């Protein structure tokens, strides 16, 4: 119960515009797994991380990711509502060439972003709460690979 409060408060603390935070998260992700850049090619392949991070299509993807996290945070009491959506989202990511192992780096990047954005409000308890929520989201998305 306290976990939910920590998650809701911290997400709200990031402010209404989540894009800058999502950009920090993906910049970190490309540091951890540079090969993921290749999976984002809307018209042509990006020649650099900077080019990718500033392209409108990729910025849209960042917004989409933040919206999914937002949906999870808003449905902490009834995450089962999101299962069908998340399994399908997993299926789409399988189709674009994402491997489930890459979600570890995504999780690391999410925690990195929270730590950067929250500063001293980022506690071990908060970290664990997010790890638990993220694990549920990823586990659900991952069933889109195997079914
Ligand atoms: C769509 C890649 C992680 C949410 C896509 C697309 C690509 C992609 C190539 C299709 C093009 C586009 O819509 O921009 C990746 C990669 C990821 C990743 C390489 C990291 C390994 C995530 C995460 C979430 C997410 C963590 C949310 C939790 C979405 C959504 C769409 C999407 C909502 C649109 C799906 C639709 O068209 O219905 N992703 N993605 N992605 N991604 Fe990701």
CA of 120 to the centre of ligand 1 (A): 30
> Token pair 């079914």 is at which residue?
147
Q: Ligand 1: which residue has its CA nearest to atom 39?
A: 93
- Please state, in angstroms and rounded to a whole number, the distance separating the CA atoms of residues 65 and 58: 11
**What is the ipTM score, two decimals?**
0.98
Q: What pLDDT is stored for residue 1 in this prediction?
A: 64
CA of 81 to the centre of ligand 1 (A): 20
Asked if residue 147 has pLDDT above 90, the reply is no
Asked if residue 146 has pLDDT above 90, the reply is no
Q: What pLDDT is stored for residue 58 in this prediction?
A: 98
The ligand 1 atom at the shortest distance from the C-alpha of residue 36 is: 19
Cα 22 to Cα 3, 50, 105, 113, distances in angstroms: 22, 14, 14, 8
Count Cβ neighbours within 10 Å for each residue of 31-63 and write b for 16 or more, e otherwise: eebeebbeebeeeeebeebeebbeeeebbebbe
Query: Is 106 near ligand 1, meaning CB less than 6 Å away?
Result: yes
Query: Is 61 near ligand 1, meaning CB less than 6 Å away?
Result: yes
Q: What are phi and psi of 123, to 5 degrees?
A: -115, 170
7-56: per-residue pLDDT in tens?
A: 999 999 999 999 999 999 999 999 999 999 999 999 889 999 999 999 99
What number does CATH give the domain 2-146? 1.10.490.10
> Token pair 């996290």 is at which residue?
69
106-125: per-residue pLDDT in tens?
A: 999 999 999 999 999 999 99
The ligand 1 atom at the shortest distance from the C-alpha of residue 92 is: 35
Averaged pLDDT for residues 124-141: 97
- Please state, in angstroms and rounded to a whole number, the distance separating the CA atoms of residues 93 and 70: 19
57-104: per-residue pLDDT in tens?
A: 999 999 999 999 999 999 999 999 999 999 999 999 999 999 999 999
- Please state, in angstroms and rounded to a whole number, the distance separating the CA atoms of residues 137 and 34: 23
- Please state, in angstroms and rounded to a whole number, the distance separating the CA atoms of residues 132 and 21: 20
The ligand 1 atom at the shortest distance from the C-alpha of residue 105 is: 21
- Please state, in angstroms and rounded to a whole number, the distance separating the CA atoms of residues 90 and 100: 9
- Please state, in angstroms and rounded to a whole number, the distance separating the CA atoms of residues 61 and 82: 19
């Amino acid at each position: 119960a306290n976990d939910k409060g920590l998650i809701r408060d911290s997400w709200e603390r990031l402010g209404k515009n989540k894009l800058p935070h999502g950009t920090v998260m993906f910049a970190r992700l490309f540091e951890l797994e540079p090969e993921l850049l290749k999976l984002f090619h809307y018209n042509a392949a990006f020649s650099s991380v900077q080019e990718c991070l500033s392209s409108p299509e990729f910025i849209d993807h960042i917004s989409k990711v933040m919206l999914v996290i937002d949906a999870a945070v808003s449905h902490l009491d009834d995450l089962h509502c999101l299962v069908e959506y998340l399994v399908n989202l997993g299926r789409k990511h399988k189709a674009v060439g994402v491997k489930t192992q890459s979600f570890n780096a995504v999780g690391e990047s999410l925690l990195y972003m929270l730590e950067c954005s929250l500063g001293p409000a980022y506690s071990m308890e908060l970290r664990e709460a997010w790890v638990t929520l993220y694990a549920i989201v990823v586990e659900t998305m991952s069933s889109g690979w195997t079914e």
